[in-house]
Amino acid sequence: MKFAIYIRVSTQEQHTENQRIELEEYAKRMGYQYEIFEEKESTRNTRPIKQALLQRLRLKEFDGVLVTALDRWARSIAELISEADELFIGKKISFLSLKDNIDLSTSSGQLIFHIFSAFAQFERSLIRERTLSGLARAKKEGVRLGRPEGSKDKKVRRKSGYYARYQGEEKTK
């Protein structure tokens, strides 16, 4: 069987080595042929390595995908479920998440996948609520939010165009 190993980190400071070692050892132990897809510092909307992998999966170039955890593959429950339905369940492509112990080729694996996906989405929602609550509290206490002032902030700015509209001033001619 030929597997795609997908590795992702969110920032340049993070390293992919731990994921790579764990996934390669597993693939070798299982006797899989594999190709590694490594995504570094991806943003929410741009994950070019994953997009290229998805195209190849749609062409059935791989029998399965191997990841360390669900959160390395997708960032939202909607993303997880749509890709699982289209590719892993719909096209019968295996999906293995080692740390979550999920194998989408089985009924129990699909059930666990949906339960874990719901909990992951719930956790993200809680973090967002806490963050917004903390920001509101800080604002009430008079804390200046945003980046600290720098030298550019002390420069005299022109009083026309976008800046004037932003400040509620009329355009000067």
pLDDT at position 160 over 70: no
DSSP state of 10: S
List the domain range (segments joined by +) for residue 88. Answer: 2-124
> How far, in whole angstroms, is CA 8 from its chain's centroid?
8
Residue 129 is assigned to a structural domain of this protein: no
Q: Are 65 and 72 in contact (CB under 8 A)?
A: no
Return the pLDDT at 165: 59
Q: In one letter, which amino acid is 56?
A: R
Residue 151 is assigned to a structural domain of this protein: no
Q: Sorting pLDDT into bands at 50, 70 and 90, what band is 173?
A: very low
**Catalytic residue, candidates 10, 117, 151, 160:** 10
Higher pLDDT, 90 or 159: 90
Residue 138 is assigned to a structural domain of this protein: no
Residue 170 is assigned to a structural domain of this protein: no
Residue 54: which CATH number?
3.40.50.1390
Alpha helices in 12-106 (DSSP H): 17-30, 48-58, 70-73, 77-83
Q: Are 65 and 6 in contact (CB under 8 A)?
A: yes
* Number of domains present in the structure of the chain: 1
Q: Which of 39, 32, 15 is nearest to 24 (CA)?
A: 32
Residue 60 is assigned to a structural domain of this protein: yes
CA dist 138 and 133 (Å) reads: 9
DSSP state of 95: E
pLDDT at position 171 over 60: no
Q: For the segment 102-156, what is each residue's pLDDT rounded down to a tens digit? A: 888 888 888 887 787 788 778 878 888 999 999 999 999 998 888 777 767 676 7
- Say how many residues make up the chain: 173
Residue 43 is assigned to a structural domain of this protein: yes
Return the pLDDT at 68: 94
Q: Active-site residue 10, yes or no? A: yes
Q: For the segment 62-110, what is each residue's pLDDT rounded down to a tens digit? A: 999 999 988 888 877 778 888 888 888 888 899 999 998 888 888 888 8
